[in-house]
């Protein structure tokens, strides 16, 4: 009898909610369309696919021909559809009720749009926590896929990872397939012949002499590696890698291409397993703070040099996905805002909860903007903006059904400090009850935008690999033999980066951060009422009262000084303007266009200036009661992506300065829609 290995081949397709249309068009052109067209020509090549819910709907609307091919392949039995949460959430960090809602929404969508309800599920970023098991099984999911690394962390030997195992949580049973890391790195980066040769070698290695059943070679990874990652379009399609691989697999007597569902239906579990909370190896590095990540990478490098990494890598374990919420205050803040609105929605009577409310909640749970690794994620303003847009829209809907108090005070983000919420149904400001007396969130409900949505610059572990000042800006490394480099192994500068661009911020990028002669002022919260929040400070130089108030579409900040002096009082306002350094944003001063938000601007004796933004569809007008020395400059951060290290504008930083020659000063922000 010919020994065979069952190839279980699957791909995962996802784009973040809020991604740019041109990015989606490029993904369609370089990946989704050619991949589906190629696979369609080989009906005997069975494969699994997961398209996240938002992307699936987008492709049906904009590229129906692609979806016609997919549907035809589903109907002829070539494709197995995999489920997940509809908006690609990390299931472990959303409430149980939302896990069920997300999974069921997507399974129903697949059934309605493609005629198949899934038995298996893709776990976002392969983040495993046993708490997700009950929700999956309640929704009819019978098996999931995670990395073989998850299994190695239990002490299980690699040679036993050639089938599925069974786990349980709270009496709910679920089967789990381990994805081969070797295959993840070989496909599609090594030559097709090498990949096929490796699969054929598994036919002998994975033979069970007791039951004469072939075991599985398990692959499930991002479809974007087949055309979107650097060099892959030419390699996979123009040079024919994908067709060579498919033809070689189908011609091999040692490889049998099967669906996960068919293998699952005919094979027995290989035993019980309890996996630790983890994700894939790279993720466990990205979740660590910079210094810890560098130490972890050093240990990995040392173990590879010593030759024992592959045998013992499971015992070199980094962080877990939830560490992103403690690493980045901005991520934690979005997450806790989402949880708060989820709870408010769940408390509404059934007859007041609507599908649009549920859809907006699920959109706030999309994973991409909450973390950062190889891809921009949290660092990309348009992804965070999509989260806030849905948060603010949902909050307005909830307020309409059940109005909130004008002022609320509570520790919302679990950092030990109370936050103060002040809202008038047009605007909302949220402040921490700390010494800064500054705004962390400034929402305009008519624009569904948070002007406080920016990012503090902090040190990242990969900064050590950045080439500064344009030196040696393009390098590749760790090529797969005669194949191509994985994006994980590339060292490329997308932009020219200087040492100053990597300096961490000394403070968070908030609105109305005050200083005297360059020293930050320390305030104390004193009171609040239906329209205002009050702070006060007293030091050796000056006693100041600071009041925030909302009146219609005006946010006003009034300062009262006890005495005049020659000291220089400055306030810093960081505004998230969606056009960033693009052509859609401009300063307007005395009816003149003063240029984009990405440039330096200095003005004297300023009373009023407008920041107009086409992407926002609105403008914000800043005015002062006393003439100010005014400066504006872009706030950039440096992050990494699959295309290299890049500078991204997060906000425009405004600074206004006065000599304290007045007893009272008011700064006002007015927001208008175009």
In whole angstroms, what separates CA 574 from the centre of its chain?
22
Which of 169, 222, 489, 581 is the catalytic position?
222
Which helix (H) or strand (E) segment holds residue 186: the answer is: helix 181-186
Residues forming beta bridges with residue 671, ordered by sequence position: 620
Cα–Cα dist 633/500, whole Å: 14
Q: Is 142 helix (H, G, I), strand (E, B) or coil?
A: coil
Q: Is 424 helix (H, G, I), strand (E, B) or coil?
A: coil
Q: State the residue for tokens 């930050």.
A: 520
Which of 88, 125, 148, 642 is the catalytic position?
125
Is residue 222 among the annotated active site residues? yes
Neighbours of 79 (CB within 10 A): 24
CB 320 within 8 A of CB 284: yes
Neighbours of 305 (CB within 10 A): 9
Residues forming beta bridges with residue 278, ordered by sequence position: 128
CB 81 within 8 A of CB 111: no
CA atoms within 13 A on the CB side of 220: 32
Query: Cα separations (Å) of 271 from 146, 165, 176, 265, 354?
Result: 16, 5, 10, 15, 43
- Dihedral sign for Cα 244, 247, 250, 252, please: negative
CB 667 within 8 A of CB 557: yes
Is residue 200 among the annotated active site residues? no
CA atoms within 13 A on the CB side of 196: 20
Query: Cα separations (Å) of 336 from 71, 134, 304, 332?
Result: 39, 23, 39, 6
Closest CA to 429 of 627, 634, 573, 636: 573
326: which 2 tokens? 């403690």
Q: What is the DSSP letter of 499?
A: G
Closest CA to 290 of 319, 314, 265, 249: 319
Question: Residue 416: which region, alpha, beta or left (left: phi > 0; alpha: psi -120 to 50)?
Answer: left
User: Which residues participate in catalysis according to the annotation?
Assistant: 125, 222
């Amino acid at each position: 009898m010919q020994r065979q290995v069952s190839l279980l081949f699957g791909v995962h397709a996802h784009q973040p909610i809020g991604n740019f249309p041109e990015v989606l068009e490029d993904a369609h052109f370089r990946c989704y369309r050619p991949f589906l067209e190629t696979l369609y020509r080989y009906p005997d090549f069975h494969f699994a696919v997961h398209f996240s819910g938002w992307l699936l709907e987008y492709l049906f609307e904009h590229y129906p021909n692609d979806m016609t091919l997919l549907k035809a392949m589903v109907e002829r039995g070539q494709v197995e559809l995999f489920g997940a949460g509809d908006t690609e959430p990390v299931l472990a960090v959303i409430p149980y009720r939302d896990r069920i809602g997300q999974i069921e929404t997507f399974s129903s969508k697949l059934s309605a749009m493609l005629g198949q309800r899934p038995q298996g599920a893709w776990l976002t970023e392969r983040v495993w926590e046993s708490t997700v098991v009950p929700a999956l099984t309640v929704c009819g999911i019978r098996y999931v896929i995670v990395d073989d690394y998850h299994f190695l962390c239990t002490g299980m030997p690699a040679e036993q990872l050639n089938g599925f195992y069974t786990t349980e949580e709270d009496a709910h049973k679920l089967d789990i397939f381990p994805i081969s890391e070797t295959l993840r790195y070989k496909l599609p980066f090594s030559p097709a012949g090498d990949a096929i040769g490796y699969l054929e070698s598994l036919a002998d290695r994975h033979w069970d002499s007791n039951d004469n059943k072939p075991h599985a070679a398990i692959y499930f990874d991002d479809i974007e590696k087949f055309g979107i990652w650097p060099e892959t379009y030419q390699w996979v399609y123009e040079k024919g890698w994908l067709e060579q691989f498919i033809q070689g697999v189908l011609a091999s007597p040692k490889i049998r291409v099967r669906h996960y569902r068919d293998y699952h239906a005919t094979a027995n579990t290989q035993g019980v397993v309890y996996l630790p909370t983890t994700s894939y190896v790279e993720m466990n590095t990205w979740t660590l703070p910079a210094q810890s990540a560098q130490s972890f990478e050093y240990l990995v490098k040392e173990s590879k040099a010593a030759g024992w990494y592959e045998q013992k890598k499971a015992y070199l374990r980094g962080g877990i996905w939830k560490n992103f919420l403690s690493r980045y205050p901005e991520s934690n803040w979005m997450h806790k805002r989402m949880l708060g609105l989820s709870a408010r929605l769940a408390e509404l009577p059934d007859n007041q909860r609507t599908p649009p409310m549920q859809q907006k909640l699920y959109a706030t749970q999309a994973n991409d903007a909450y973390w950062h690794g190889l891809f921009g994620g949290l660092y990309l303003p348009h992804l965070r903006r999509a989260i806030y847009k849905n948060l603010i829209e949902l909050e307005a809907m909830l307020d309409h059904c059940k109005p909130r108090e004008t002022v609320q005070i509570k520790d919302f983000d679990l950092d030990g400090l109370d936050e103060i919420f002040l809202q008038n149904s047009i605007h909302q400001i949220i402040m921490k009850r700390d010494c800064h007396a500054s705004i962390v969130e400034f929402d305009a409900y008519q624009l569904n935008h948070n002007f406080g949505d920016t990012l503090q610059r902090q040190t990242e572990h990969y900064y050590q690999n950045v080439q500064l000042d344009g030196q040696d800006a393009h390098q590749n490394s760790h090529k797969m033999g005669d194949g191509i480099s994985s994006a994980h192994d590339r060292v490329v500068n997308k932009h020219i980066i200087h040492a100053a661009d990597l300096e961490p911020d000394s403070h968070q990028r908030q609105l109305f951060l005050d200083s005297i002669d360059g020293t930050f002022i320390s305030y104390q919260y004193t009171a609040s009422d239906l329209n205002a929040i009050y702070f006060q400070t007293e030091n050796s130089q000056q006693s100041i009262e600071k009041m925030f108030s909302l009146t219609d579409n005006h946010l006003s900040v009034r300062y009262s000084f006890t005495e005049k002096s020659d000291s220089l009082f400055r306030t810093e306002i960081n505004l998230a303007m969606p056009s960033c350094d693009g052509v859609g944003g401009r300063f307007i001063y005395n009816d003149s266009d003063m240029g984009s938000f990405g440039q330096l601007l200095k003005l004297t004796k300023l009373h009023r200036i407008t920041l107009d933004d086409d992407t926002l569809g609105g403008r914000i007008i800043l005015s002062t009661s006393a003439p100010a020395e005014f400066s504006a400059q872009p706030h950039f951060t440096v992050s990494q992506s699959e295309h290299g290290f890049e500078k991204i504008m997060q906000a425009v930083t405004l600074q206004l300065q006065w000599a304290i020659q007045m007893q009272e000063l008011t700064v006002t922000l007015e927001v208008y829609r175009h």
